[in-house]
Amino acid sequence: MLDLIGKGSSHTCNGVTRRDFLQVGTLGAVGLGLPQWMQAREAGLVDPEADRKSCILIFNLGAPSQLDTFDMKPDAPAEIRGPFQPISTVADGIQLSEILPKHAAIADKIGFVRSCFHRGAAVHDSGWQIMQTGRLFTGGVDTPHVGSAVWYLRGPRSDLPPHVVLPETMGRGGGNLPNGQAGGFLGKAYDPFALMADPSQDNFEVPDLLPPASIPAARLDRRRRLREAVEESMTQFEASESAKLMSEHFDTAYRLMTSPQARDAFDLSKEPKKVREAYGMNRFGQCCLLARRLIEAGVRFVTVNTFLTVFDEITWDIHGSKPFTSIEGMKNIVAPMYDQGYAALISDLSDRGMLDDTLVANMAEFGRTPKVNPAGGRDHWPQCYTVYFAGGGVRGGTVVGASDPIGAVPDDRPTEPPEVVATIFHALGFKMTEHIPGPGGRPFPIVDSGFREIHELF
């Protein structure tokens, strides 16, 4: 953030004054756009503390049952409380499910919000959209993912894309709606870079990112210079939006393909075997490890999808009947993998001194029905669920809000998705008054008016 207190009119090397930057940054409804931000950063006028903040967003696709994980109701009837027992954690007064013992061991670093709900339809992609953008998909307005908005407002700080999705963006959700993991109305230039590979595989490499070893950097540089020569004779075309988008994609791809930093960041073979095994030698665990490496290398925002679709794999979507799993199946298949990978990530970030500057946000599209269904599962329930945060200035060992005695609706401090998204922006050093260009170029607030971060977490 810019310092609006100091006086003076010192000039940068390109003739822009400090006062010019302050005026840009105080245009109120307009906010500070990427070009001004980049200029300010180069001029040394950007708050280094805000610039180094990062976020890892873990999206629990399929939606965990709040009653069987983070918000146990041991005194409720059996058909409500489910089969699992609550266990104590290292945080005084906080209990979690016995299927998450590694979460319990680091609960003093986590802030839980047990009163989240949304007003969207009880379908997966509606929840995906609203939780990752803060807005319902209405009127054809495709709001960008929070990481894409961060990309627009802050830009890159390394050769790597500012927003990366691991292992790839979400698939189908059944509602025929956008999944929220795109640049939306900001344009495809702000779509996240998707890995499109499983980092737990022995032959893992990043598709379409790094060139074959047989193509030397000099050849790539000749290709770039040839492209620049052709562009000089295409000034009219280059003024078009299509050309600008092509140029941005080419420049990003060129930086990636020629950058030792990018090559190293994606190279998990550089991690000791002991570290890789601590995360779990599965897709989610290795994505969590890769997220840490990408943040270290300068990526601002990493989204990790625990699963990719609710149709072709076992997920948190525990309806009970086939092809879905049951509550017991969640214990044996989903929870151990998730518990290990998440706990390793938080502990690793903490041990490396990165947790204070890295917010780890865990969310899902909704919760599950309070009553166990006849198939031994739980169905979709947007009326109440738990989200949680660690790092990024969040006070660990905290519980915000509460659900009613059967985990059906918020009983204290109801929390909506715009507040969850606002919390991410706040931890990254944004003001809620900042804007991005919306449909038609009109200023579009990053958070709906009237909403702010979950301040009890900080």
Can you give the pLDDT of all 458 residues of the chain as single tens digits? Answer: 323 233 334 444 444 444 443 333 333 333 455 555 556 666 665 678 889 999 999 999 999 999 999 999 999 999 999 999 999 999 999 999 999 999 999 999 999 999 999 999 999 999 999 999 999 998 889 999 999 999 999 999 999 999 999 999 999 888 889 999 999 999 999 999 999 999 999 989 886 554 445 455 555 555 556 556 555 555 554 555 555 554 555 566 556 667 888 889 999 999 999 999 999 999 999 999 999 999 999 999 999 999 999 998 999 999 999 999 999 999 999 999 999 999 999 999 999 999 999 999 999 999 999 999 999 999 999 999 999 999 999 999 999 999 999 999 999 999 999 999 999 999 999 999 999 999 999 999 999 999 999 999 99
d(CA 381, CA 367) in angstroms, rounded, equals: 5
- The reply to whether 42 and 69 lie within a common domain is no
Q: Tell me the DSSP string of 354-377.
A: -GGGEEEEEE-S-EE-SSPPTTS-
- Please, what is the end-to-end C-alpha distance for the chain in angstroms? 18
- The reply to whether 23 and 56 lie within a common domain is no
Please tell me the total count of domains within the chain. Answer: 3
pLDDT score for 13:
44
- The reply to whether 256 and 277 lie within a common domain is no
- The reply to whether 14 and 131 lie within a common domain is no
- The reply to whether 227 and 259 lie within a common domain is yes
pLDDT score for 407:
98
Kindly report the pTM of this predicted structure. Answer: 0.85
Q: Tell me the DSSP string of 123-143.
A: SHHHHHHHHHHSS---TT--P
- The reply to whether 238 and 220 lie within a common domain is yes
pLDDT score for 206:
82
pLDDT score for 231:
56
Classify burial at 311, counting beta carbons within 10 Å of its beta carbon; exposed 0-12, middle 13-18, buried 19 or more: middle
Q: Report which residue type is found at 333.
A: I
- Asked if 79 contacts 375 with a C-beta cutoff of 8 angstroms, the reply is no
- The reply to whether 371 and 444 lie within a common domain is yes
pLDDT score for 175:
85
pLDDT score for 12:
42
- The reply to whether 358 and 400 lie within a common domain is yes
- The reply to whether 348 and 228 lie within a common domain is no
pLDDT score for 50:
82
d(CA 88, CA 104) in angstroms, rounded, equals: 7
Query: Using omega within 30 degrees of 0 as the cis cutoff, is the peptide bond preceding 83 cis?
Result: no
- The reply to whether 93 and 188 lie within a common domain is yes
pLDDT score for 29:
34
- The reply to whether 412 and 361 lie within a common domain is yes
pLDDT score for 303:
98
- The reply to whether 367 and 436 lie within a common domain is yes
Domain that holds residue 6: 1-46
pLDDT score for 38:
59
